Amino acid sequence: MLFPTVDFAVFFLVVFTGSWLLRPYKIAWRWFILASSCVFYGWWDWNYLMLLFLSIGINWFLGLAVFRSLTPEGERTDASRWIVRIAVVVNLGILGYFKYFDFFVSTIADKMRSIGISVDAPILNIILPIGISFFTFQAISYVIDIGRGQWRKPLTLLDFAVYLSFFAHLVAGPIVRASEFAPQLDELPDPRYVRSAEAFMLIFRGMFKKVVISSFLAVQIVDPVFANPNAYGPMAVLWAIYAYAIQIYADFSGYTDIAIGVALLLGIRFPQNFDSPYIALSLQDFWSRWHMTLSRWLRDYLYIPLGGNRGSKAMTYRNLFLVMIIGGLWHGANWTFVVWGAIHGSYLVAERIVKAKWKGHELGLPPLLVKAMQWFLVFNVVCLAWVFFRATSVDEAFTLLGRLFASSGSAAGVSLLLVFVIVASIASQFVPQRFPQKAEVWFATWAPALQIAALAGGLVLVDALGPEGIAPFIYFQF
């Protein structure tokens, strides 16, 4: 059930109505939202509901066990540490089976064949359950936070089930922590008050990004060029790379906008997940703006436990690189994601080295020119990494990059409209936040009926501008 579909519109109309009526009755509201989330997730395959229920049950039980093994003052014990480790291993084991089993088996088999050992690899062709990477990370964070003594009491089974299964963030984030979500269950606002203006603007913006921008770029140039790079020349390949950078941003941030808007209409606020990432002047700044909830997760539950920047410079560089490699693998079981993570990790390390070496030195250039050079370099490094993220194999990525130096090839797909969409999409991220905020304040003065009419009209316009047929969101595959 995709957001930009009639199926979801009907589903959410029913959910919103039920939520609005039941919000004064907190327990009934929880059960209703849990049931709605089960319908939403089961729409793809009811069989995987059992996996979701298993994750809920295991992690709630382990979280309770961790809490009971802490000291009365909330301090860690050897028992609590071991239970947390068991929880992490169990969660990663389930994720690893569904997401990485075939990848690792085939990789080992290929290596053995390369040295002359014939093996019959047991490839299972396991279907990846939608959203497993997201709800697994959320479950791990909950158990670890309890182990760190950050909870006065664990969640009830019902509250934890609502948290982990909540349909607005279930399949592609944001990665919401229990400490951000659970308190809102007991602080549901007056049912007569709905943050409609903010929610409607987020939903419209997300739909426009996905249906119009992302879909146009995919159909116009990205999909054709990546499918057959040898047919295209340098100009088409370069614009296809830039187009994919915009496509994946519009697709994923569009999904996030819709998810945040939908949750707001139900009285739940999610954390921000994007903050104009393509205005970044460093890769570190980029990661503070791109998929912010994943960045925070990797920092708090991987980078800092590895030692962060507390050790030597060499250890800090190792930690940075390792975290980005793992972050790449989290996205998918393919060497392309490892290379993507390696590019980001290497550049983050290089940034630190250069920053330390050049600290206190001036280039003697105008500050604006220096910023422009920094932006150009960071943006193109990010775009280079996106090639591996999009490609189906490392060889395919290098083939496409090689076409940047070809002497001939088609420039089909490159048009003034395409260039305008890409340039305008980048430029829009430099617009100060106060302008959309002012628009939201003005929109909030409209009567609810007018807001609904405006949203409906906007969605009709989006449907008219978008291509026929909508592809699933890119991050659904993760």
Shared domain check, 448 and 383: yes
Shared domain check, 448 and 326: yes
DSSP 431: S
DSSP 410: B
Number of domains in the chain: 2
Residue 191 falls inside a structural domain = no
Question: Which pTM was predicted?
Answer: 0.93
pLDDT one-digit tens code per residue, 127-149: 889 999 999 999 999 999 999 99
**Per-residue confidence band for 371, with pLDDT thresholds at 50, 70 and 90:** very high
Domain containing 26 equals: 6-185
Shared domain check, 335 and 249: yes
Is 90 exceeded by the pLDDT of residue 187?
Answer: no
pLDDT of the residue at 373: 94
Unique residue bearing structure tokens 């295209």: 232
Cβ-proximal residues to 328 (8 Å cutoff; 6+ apart), any chain:
337, 338, 339, 340, 341, 342, 344
Shared domain check, 268 and 140: no
Shared domain check, 68 and 20: yes
Shared domain check, 268 and 159: no
Percent of the chain predicted with pLDDT > 70? 97
Active site residue 344: no
pLDDT one-digit tens code per residue, 315-341: 999 999 999 999 999 998 899 999 999
Tell me how far apart the alpha carbons of residues 379 and 359 are, in angstroms, rounded to a whole number: 23
Mean pLDDT of the chain: 92
Shared domain check, 229 and 350: yes
Shared domain check, 230 and 110: no
Residue 117 falls inside a structural domain = yes
pLDDT of the residue at 113: 76
Residue 401 falls inside a structural domain = yes
Is 90 exceeded by the pLDDT of residue 478?
Answer: no
pLDDT of the residue at 192: 62
Shared domain check, 121 and 209: no
Is 90 exceeded by the pLDDT of residue 200?
Answer: yes
CB 404: neighbour CB atoms within 10 A?
14
Last residue of a domain, one of 125, 156, 185: 185
Residue 478 falls inside a structural domain = no
Residue 1 falls inside a structural domain = no
**Per-residue confidence band for 28, with pLDDT thresholds at 50, 70 and 90:** very high
What are the residue ranges of helices labelled H in 299-366? 304-306, 313-331, 335-358
Residue 161 falls inside a structural domain = yes
Shared domain check, 218 and 175: no
Most confident of 36-40, 127-131, 412-416: 36-40
**Per-residue confidence band for 360, with pLDDT thresholds at 50, 70 and 90:** low
Residue 24 falls inside a structural domain = yes
Shared domain check, 274 and 178: no
**Per-residue confidence band for 263, with pLDDT thresholds at 50, 70 and 90:** very high
Is 90 exceeded by the pLDDT of residue 124?
Answer: no
Last residue of a domain, one of 156, 185, 214: 185
pLDDT of the residue at 189: 61
pLDDT of the residue at 276: 96
Is 90 exceeded by the pLDDT of residue 108?
Answer: no
pLDDT one-digit tens code per residue, 4-13: 888 999 999 9
Residue 350 falls inside a structural domain = yes
Catalytic-labelled residue, pool 291, 331, 344, 361? 331
Shared domain check, 422 and 281: yes
Closest CA to 283 of 206, 140, 393, 385: 385
Last residue of a domain, one of 133, 156, 185: 185
Minimum mean pLDDT range among 87-91, 197-201, 430-434: 430-434
Minimum mean pLDDT range among 23-32, 151-160, 275-284, 430-439: 430-439
